[in-house]
Amino acid sequence: MVDSGCIFCSIVRGEVPCYKVYEDGDVIAFLDIEPISEGHTLVVPKRHCSDIYDIPDDLLCKVMTAARKIAMEYRSSLGAKAVNLLNASGMEAGQSVFHFHVHVVPAYDYMKNRISFRHDASAKSNIEKTQKRINGEVL
């Protein structure tokens, strides 16, 4: 299934060009046109799934397996020292293309701007309550 208005579905159909680095029967991967490091790649299922909540487990495994293969390749071919695998699911998380995808972001010695996460003090102060909510305990 594809979504006619989705840019990634258009890439899958070959209607929009891309810098393809990997493809199999279920997954396509191409270089991000606004990279944050050399080799920044998007790994996309060929089937349209909007986000992490929509993608079936078997297809998610195929996407992640492809992401790992790409990360391993970039370690040897590009000299990447490490890698970040990132996904944003939902507008509030920063998702801008609503077709599930994983960013493979190679990291190098020369990189000064590492991907980082800011800590939320209120979330930390409520960590015990959060665990209880997740585990279904009554507060």
Of 40, 99, 101, 103, catalytic: 101
Active-site annotation holds for 48 = no
70 CB contacts (<8 Å, ≥6 apart)?
21, 22, 29, 41, 43, 104
Q: Let me know if 112 is exposed, middle or buried by CB neighbors in 10 A (0-12, 13-18, 19+).
A: exposed
Catalytic residue numbers, as ranges: 101
